[in-house]
Structure 1
Amino acid sequence: MAPLLPPRPPRRHRYPGRLPADDRAALRGIVYVLGKSVSWRDVPAERTGCSGITAWRRLRDWTDAGVWPRLHELLLAELRAEGLLEMDDAAIDGSHVRALKGVHTGPSPVDRGRPGSKHHLIVDRHGTPLAVTLIGGNRHDVTQLLPLLDVIPPIRGLRGRPRRHPRRLFADRGYDYDKYRRILRRLGITPKFAHRGVAHGSGLGKTRRVVERTFAWLHQFKRLRIRYEIRADLHLGLLPLACSIICLRKLRTSF
């Protein structure tokens, strides 16, 4: 992660002030909040090595610099190089989370109209997160189908062109629209969507279960279960960080 961090401003030669907190300590503070969902002022400095305010500022600066998506892209490339990424089949879905404040919210239809947001996720055959987006809780899932495909990074790791799109895309009946089926076919993607009006038991559940399992992994990070951040970009910065940790766990267990 170190080569991805933005350069620090040069220190003054005269009266330089206090030394900045270590980047590793700031990352520990960010991951502590991501996992425990404590407020930033309650981050234990004796445990992480920096204050919660410092960790929040580094999260803001690193999010503005685009560190988290690039970190996720590098880990996906390592997974592909190790043969642990299978992008021929992919699954997509959305999940509601309660939002206490901030933008990218809307009256959630599954939470009595309370303000909420939606995480939209696309995963490979094994449930590895490829991309994630954030929208208001009152937006339809199908509106994020094409934007989510657009934010999949160019995944390297093997000789040849980077991989961007899967060959087959599995989704529930909320994505069953002829317009989007035609668009996917023009992109070279075969849509495998459940049909509206058909009784449950289409057989796609055994393929789509991987995206539900990845949502369970993602929401094990307690900070993502309820959206506390006012700024949508900060919450959207925590999402690829959590995806990167999931990818790192897959790499570690492969050794």
Structure 2
Amino acid sequence: MDDDLWALIEPLLPPWPERSPGPWPVPDRMCLQGILYVLHNDIAWQLMPLELGFGSGQTCWRRLERRQRAGVFDRLHRILLAESNAAGEFDWSRAYVDGSHIRAKSGPPHLRHNRSPVSQSAGMASFSRGTPSLPMPAP
């Protein structure tokens, strides 16, 4: 990881809790490199070689979880997008909106209101006998 990228990431990291007895923690930069190593090479956390100096796979995994909960990666993503946009690195004419990850609502809004659970289950199509029974419109 180069110094410029680390300069963006370091201020986003949550502060360390009070020092507890035991070995000194792996430096944040080395641990982040371990996280990137595991993700890039698609290996199990337990298989990360200790010889690389990134700490154990368990240490890196815990640090990744802690940073994810703190929103570090979401903030970093926004910063990198803003910097790339400011540098003119995006061709927005080729952009599109993808809503495939948005949960679809069940029907039009006027049909979802004022229906009891019984009428909702009775109104669902049934294909048990080969011919579908269509839902009845709401009164």
Task: Please tell me the TM-score bracket, short chain as reference.
Answer: 0.5 to 0.7
What corresponds to 2:65 in structure 1?
A: 60
Match 2:40 to one of 27, 35, 39? 35
What corresponds to 2:11 in structure 1?
A: 3
Bigger fraction of residues in helix? 2
What corresponds to 2:86 in structure 1?
A: 81
Q: Tell me how far apart the structure 1 counterparts of residues 100 and 60 of structure 2 sit (CA, whole Å).
A: 34
Show CA shifts across 1:176-199 (max 9, x none). xxx9xxxxxxxxxxxxxxxxxxxx
What corresponds to 2:134 in structure 1?
A: none
Q: Tell me how far apart the structure 1 counterparts of residues 95 and 88 of structure 2 sit (CA, whole Å).
A: 16
Bigger fraction of residues in strand? 1
Q: Would the aligned equivalents of 1:28 and 1:48 in 2 still touch at CA under 8 Å? A: no
Show CA shifts across 1:155-186 (max 9, x none). xxxxxxxxxxxxxxxxxxxxxxxx9xxxxxxx
Q: Tell me how far apart the structure 1 counterparts of residues 24 and 46 of structure 2 sit (CA, whole Å).
A: 20
Q: Would the aligned equivalents of 1:43 and 1:51 in 2 still touch at CA under 8 Å? A: yes
Q: Would the aligned equivalents of 1:33 and 1:40 in 2 still touch at CA under 8 Å? A: yes
Q: How does 1:237-252 map to 2 (within 5 A)?
A: none
Q: Which has the larger radius of gyration?
A: 2
The 3 A distance-change label for structure 1 pair 46 and 77 is same
Query: Structure 2: 5+ residue runs without aligned partners?
Result: 1-8, 109-139
Q: Tell me how far apart the structure 2 counterparts of residues 58 and 66 of structure 1 sit (CA, whole Å).
A: 12
Q: Which has the higher contact order (CA 8 A, sep 6+)?
A: 1
2:75 aligned with 1:70, yes or no? yes
Structure 2 residue identity aligned to 1:86: D
Q: 3-state SS of the aligned residue for 2:95?
A: strand
1:60 Cα deviation after fit: 0.6
Query: Structure 1: 5+ residue runs without aligned partners?
Result: 93-121, 123-141, 149-178, 180-255
Q: TM-score, normalised by structure 1?
A: 0.35
Matched residues, number: 96
Q: What percent of counterpart residues are identical?
A: 43
2:27 aligned with 1:19, yes or no? no
